[in-house]
A and B are shown apart, each in its own frame.
Chain A
Amino acid sequence: MRILLLTFVFIFTLQASSQALTLKEIEGAVMCMCPDNCGKVLINCSCKYSDEYRHTFAEQIKQGMNKKAILQSWINKYGEKGLSAPIKEGFNLTAWIVPFLALFLAGGLVFTLIRKWNKKALNNSESMTEPEQKNLSKEDQDILKKIKNDLNDLDT
């Protein structure tokens, strides 16, 4: 039991150490707010101001600030526009939820449609039995044969 507990603690410690805040993480979460208005995420920006911002973030990480605190200080300076994606809270949450909600609803609609069309097909096929087909006139049987041929062509 002790060994198991120790293993969990070890894995937890390893995970925690691998989750240490990196500059890359912050660079990906903020926009370059240079006076040139380059409009790039900081991690993708090579403008002359970008290194200055990176330096500031590196200092903040060194001082032991966590991601939330660093981003909050950035928001305080430049507003929410300074972040590269909406925060997952309040009204901004709709940005994240709506695409999946729409997909879910549209998926439900598509499934309902497929089921409805399938039911229609089942009803149609049940409406005529084999003996009934044999009672058809020669002309109707030919038409039925042609329909079957057409359906078979669909698979080619």
Chain B
Amino acid sequence: MTYIGQLSLQLSFVVTIYALVCYYLGAKNEKYQLIKSADTAVFILLGLMLLTSTALIYAFFNNDYSIEYVYNYSNRDLAPFYKFSAFWAGQKGSLLLWALLLSLFGVIVLLQNRHKNRILLPVVMKVILGVTLFFISTMLFSTNPFEKMMGGVIPEDGHGLNPMLQNPGMVIHPPTLYIGYVGMTVPFAFAIAALIKEQLGDIWIRSTRRWTLFSWMFLTLGNLFGAQWAYVELGWGGYWAWDPVENASFMPWLVATAYLHSVMIQEKKDMLKVWNMSLIILTFSLTIFGTFITRSGLIQSVHSFDETTLGYYFLAFLAFIMIASFGLVIKRFPALKSKNSLDSIVSRESSFLLNNLLLLGIAFATLWGTLFPIISEAVRGIKITVGPPFFNQVNVPIGLALLLLAAICPLIAWRKATVKNIQKNFLIPFIFMVIGGGALVVLLPTFDVFAWLAFSFSIFLTVTIVIEFYKGANVRAKQSGKNILNSFFSLINRNKRRYGGYIVHLGVVCCFVGIAGSSSYSTEKTEMLKEGEEMNIRNYTLQFEKIDYVKENETKEVITAKLNLFKDGKVLRQMKPEKQFFNKQQPVTDVDIYQTIFEDVYVIFSSYSDDLKTGTFKVFVNPLTAWLWIGGWIMALGTIIAILPDKLESSGLAKRYNRKL
């Protein structure tokens, strides 16, 4: 099977080059047969990628330790679930996953565009195949997943999967993030095709709107799952540490968010063409930059794969993408320049530009902070660390401004906002914000200005959105004679893009509330307890019952502490934080969390005495953390609604095109 995997990887390299050449010659000489042959090659490529991946998974399940990658990331005792996820635990597998997803997306793009975009499609496919070829080449010439063990030695057992990766969150997080990363290749490919073929209208944007939303949703979820994994697995009571690799996945998300907003101005006003092209190029480049950071070992990170050579392939590829893409933008600059203008300084369009500015401001600050250790070393010869205090101090104020803008934006009319219009729309949300903010000054346990602003702006944004829904549903109820609830759903159904977007913003509110609550009002306590002793934190009591030792298998031992959790004297449940020991690996602290919508009781089993009669426990009470996870899911739900086919959008488009004709 290893041989088949290796062979299919080599064949996929040949097939990709064949498809690229066929698309080039077919489009150049207008030979339909060649393009058709290239289309077939794209399907074959997917088959070969599937075969290569299956061969690697088979090697994991078959404990084939003749393969170095299988040896490094698996062992005989590893649960089947994790044997499957070990596929993308290391860099070789993650590169293969990237190539597999890209070949799958290539096929989907081909099927979606069978009867449309025939001018753009050969170039789109060339870009997708070009990127796929790069990934296949890295595997063939640098980091082959089927590389044999040095000296042909076949070990009895594998080294095992990093215990921290043996968590359901880590099974879902990487593929979700990769789907988001890889998906961004599609809008990028369409943008490049539009530049090359001089089809600079909004066709490429409309053709890729769903792809962009789909990829953005997966980037959102990928980041969310990563944060959840860090929360339950890293055992420090938090979920986001501004690690360079976390930053690397956050930056494309920010730029893609800016792009999703600014394309609306191109669709409505035929403006910002250069800007939108630049944003999508930047988004894609940042996905490659993220991979470069992980692979280069240039910046210290808990996520690094510690291999340095591959990073330079990525750096070269990144440089090529940026030079070629922005070169094309410069070449087409005269045609991209907009002839339209803004009707007013105060308008929805202007607020979108401001939104872009703030999103890119956060992205830039994050990039700057991530790269500053290298800059410092180059300039002063001194390596420094840029960690959470920097990112929080710089990004929190900008983030709050963004939240306020998100609240104001829907209240400002498109084209031109009048003073009367602003006064009328702002009044109710503003009153709610003032009353709510005032109440919070009294209700909050301590006054934290950033948290207070986050809560107050969240009230403003929520009221704005609720009013938008209420107004729309009310009008529909009057028109149709149906009740308000029916009208509410029919309202969303009629304009999914608009109301899906509002739902996404509600998710953003939840996330801000969760972040503000958990980061500003967390309580922490560490105590050493003997059996039967208790500790108190806020209105919770933890009674230490005992410690159990279990040897699960030859390579895994688990020490579990049992504590009974009480609230106001009432028993809630038994908490079971653990310490897991794996052969040849670092011990893992597995926390236990009692989660409610209001707060989490987060128990870490720090240490224990030799006789297992005494344990040291670090306990956090983190308010509102669940809001962050719920917010993420609401954002995903809103995105799904916005992706769904929209009658109003189609009829509006048809109307516009008919008028044009």
Q: What is A's interface to B at a CB cutoff of 8 Å?
A: 24, 28-29, 31, 36-41, 43-46, 51, 79-86, 91-92, 95-96, 98-100, 102-103, 106-107, 110, 113-115, 117-121, 124, 146, 149-151, 153-156
Contacts and interface: CB of A to CB of B under 8 A. Distances in A.
B386 interface: yes
Given A81-B383, A81-B384, A83-B384, A146 B341 contact: no
Interface in B318-338: none
18 contacts: A31-B385, A39-B301, A40-B302, A41-B388, A46-B235, A46-B606, A81-B382, A81-B384, A81-B385, A82-B385, A85-B388, A99-B365, A103-B365, A117-B271, A119-B341, A149-B659, A154-B415, A156-B648
B300 A37 contact: yes
Given A86-B390, A95-B368, A79 B382 contact: yes
B660 to A, nearest CB: 9
Interface stretch (B12-20, B89-97, B372-380, B501-509): B372-380
Contacts of A98: 368
A150 B394 CA distance: 42
Interface string B338-353: 0011111100001001
A122 to B, nearest CB: 8
Contacts of B604: 46
Contacts of A37: 300
B28 interface: no
Contact of B394 (A43, A84, A100, A154): A100
A70 to B, nearest CB: 15
Contact of B343 (A85, A100, A121): A121
B297 interface: no
Contacts of B350: 114
Contact of A118 (B236, B343, B387, B394): B343
B422 to A, nearest CB: 15
Nearest to A156: B652
B345 A115 contact: yes
B566 interface: no
Contacts of B344: 118, 121
Interface stretch (B356-364, B452-460, B567-575): B356-364
A152 to B, nearest CB: 9
B206 interface: no
Contacts of A31: 385, 387
B341 A39 contact: no
Q: How large, as a class, is the contact surface on chain B?
A: 35 or more
B379 to A, nearest CB: 6
Contact of A95 (B345, B372, B382): B372
Contacts of B301: 39
Given A86-B372, A103-B361, A153-B655, A114 B235 contact: no
B302 A118 contact: no
A38 B390 contact: no
Contact of B269 (A92, A99, A124, A154): A154
Contacts of B586: 36
Contacts of A121: 341-344
B499 to A, nearest CB: 13
B75 interface: no
Contacts of B398: 103
A87 to B, nearest CB: 8
Interface in B72-103: none
Given A46-B589, A106-B357, A106-B360, A117 B376 contact: no
Contacts of A103: 357-358, 361, 364-365, 398
B317 interface: no
Contact of B384 (A24, A86, A106): A86
Contacts of B648: 156
A96 B369 CA distance: 9
Given A81-B383, A95-B386, A155-B413, A40 B341 contact: no
Contacts of B354: 110
Interface string B139-160: 0000000000000000000000
Contacts of B364: 99, 102-103
A117 B365 contact: no
Nearest to B446: A18
B656 interface: yes
A37 to B, nearest CB: 7
Contact of A120 (B236, B341, B360, B589): B341
Contacts of A91: 376, 379-380
B345 A114 contact: yes
Nearest to A151: B415
Nearest to A113: B353
Given A39-B300, A103-B398, A120-B341, A150 B656 contact: yes
Contacts of B390: 84-86, 95-96
A102 B358 CA distance: 11
A44 B238 contact: yes
Contact of B369 (A80, A95, A120): A95
Given A44-B238, A92-B384, A156-B652, A118 B342 contact: yes
B313 interface: no
Given A84-B387, A99-B364, A110-B354, A155 B415 contact: yes
Nearest to B237: A44
B236 to A, nearest CB: 4
A88 B214 CA distance: 41
Interface in B572-588: 586
Nearest to B604: A46
A18 B449 CA distance: 16
Among A106, A114, A153, the one with the most B-chain Cβ atoms within 10 Å of its Cβ is A114
Contacts of B342: 114, 117-118, 121
Contacts of A41: 241, 387-388
A91 B16 CA distance: 48
Contacts of A107: 357
B236 A44 contact: yes
Given A44-B238, A153-B656, A85 B365 contact: no
Interface in B457-504: none
B357 A110 contact: yes
A92 B385 CA distance: 11
A80 B382 CA distance: 8
Nearest to B388: A41
A100 B384 CA distance: 20
A150 B415 CA distance: 12
B414 interface: yes
Contacts of B243: 39
Contact of B385 (A43, A84, A96, A113): A84
Interface string B621-661: 00000000000000000000000000010001001100100
